[in-house]
Amino acid sequence: MIHSLLRKLARLLDRPVVGDVSLDEQYRTPRGLSGMLIGQDMLRQHRPENRWTLSLLDVKPTDHILEIGSGPGLLLHLTSRQLHGGQVWGLDLSRSMVRLACLHNWPAVLQGKVRIISGNAAHLPFGKERFDTVVSVHSIYFWKDPLQVLQETLRVLKPGGKLVLTFMPRRRWPQQGEGSTCHVFSEEEMVELFQQAGFVQVRVFKGEDHFRECAVVGKQTPA
């Protein structure tokens, strides 16, 4: 009830600034008060799959990790707690989400353990072989060119590094994603996309029984 009222208020307050933005567009690039409220919803709704995804990362204390589509910063927080000498970066297209994630992670941001920036995943602002692990949760649906993003991810991974991508497969979407404005993939299609981008040792991990999500994990070619 309270969330519903807040969303109505947010739409009224946002209208003079950003216009009547669709819910799909707000999830793609959250903005304004409505976007901040969506970010708070993300923290609550996606906590289980973020915790499960963390278990797939096999974080080492000195790892350097990048999260693409870091949203309100929950996985950044969970990951940073396992680092001692390492660093986790968050990248999000939405400046509203960058601000919210910084707020939720401010102690680790001040320590330099967490860095969060706004940017486009299709053109990652990092040099080659920068990260041990790249991770993304519920973000690929909104990438304009998923193959280009995967190729960029491969570029910034160290030899033997891995990408962990958690998503809801086509069979779990209403009408299997028909009519959706998002990119929707089956597990098999995602594996093929990883391989097309150049990843090796690509595997599918099924989520826990009550999950709708799964993860595809691929590696950069070892040195």
Instruction: Judge if 149 and 136 occupy the same domain.
Output: yes
Average pLDDT of the residues in 163-190: 87
- What range defines the domain where residue 15 resides? 2-44
The pLDDT value recorded for residue 158 is: 98
Same-domain check for residues 73 and 146: yes
> How does the average pLDDT of the chain come out, rounded?
84
Q: What residues does 83 pair with on adjacent strands?
A: none
The structure's pTM equals 0.81
Residue 67 and residue 111 share a domain: yes
User: Does one domain contain both 39 and 50?
Assistant: no
Residue 8 clears pLDDT 50, i.e. is over it: no
pLDDT of residue 41: 58
Residues 94, 38 within the same domain: no
Query: Six-digit token pair at 83?
Result: 């680092």
Domain count, the chain: 2
- How much is the pLDDT for 223? 80
Q: Which of 168-172, 174-178, 182-186 has the lowest mean pLDDT?
A: 174-178
| Per-residue pLDDT at 175 | 77
pLDDT tens digits for 161-171? 999 999 999 99
Kindly state whether residues 115 and 168 are assigned to the same domain.
Answer: yes
Question: What is the reported pLDDT for 98?
Answer: 93
CATH code: domain of residue 198 = 3.40.50.150
